[in-house]
Amino acid sequence: MENYATAIARPQRSAMPLKDSIRDMIRLQRDYNLSDELFWEVFNNRVLLNEQIDVDDFLRDVYGRGALA
């Protein structure tokens, strides 16, 4: 029983790092004031479909150059 309790008490250091796609979505939420519709459009492309898109370029294409600056 002691071994079981000891194993639970120790934190696991093998937690999975965030995927790049999730990190991109966190950065978008932090850096841009996106509408819900646009956020979910980017989410669908970047996370669910796992497309390797540059989210900054994607937003520039949607809004047009200079609108996000």
- Residue 65: what pLDDT? 54
Asked whether residue 53 is domain-assigned, the answer is yes
The count of other CB atoms within 10 Å of the CB of residue 61 is 11
> Alpha-carbon distance 16 to 38, whole Å?
28
* 54 within a domain of the structure (yes/no): yes
2 in any annotated domain: no
pLDDT of residue 13: 57
Which position has the token pair 């004031």? 33
Specify the pLDDT at position 69. Answer: 47
Range of the domain at 31: 18-69
Instruction: Return averaged pLDDT per consecutive 10 residues of the chain, 69 residues in all.
Output: 56 67 88 88 86 84 63
Does residue 5 lie in a domain region? Answer: no
The number of distinct structural domains making up the chain is 1
Give a yes or no: residue 67 inside a domain.
yes
For residue 35, give the 3-state DSSP assignment: coil
Cα(64)–Cα(48) distance, integer angstroms: 25
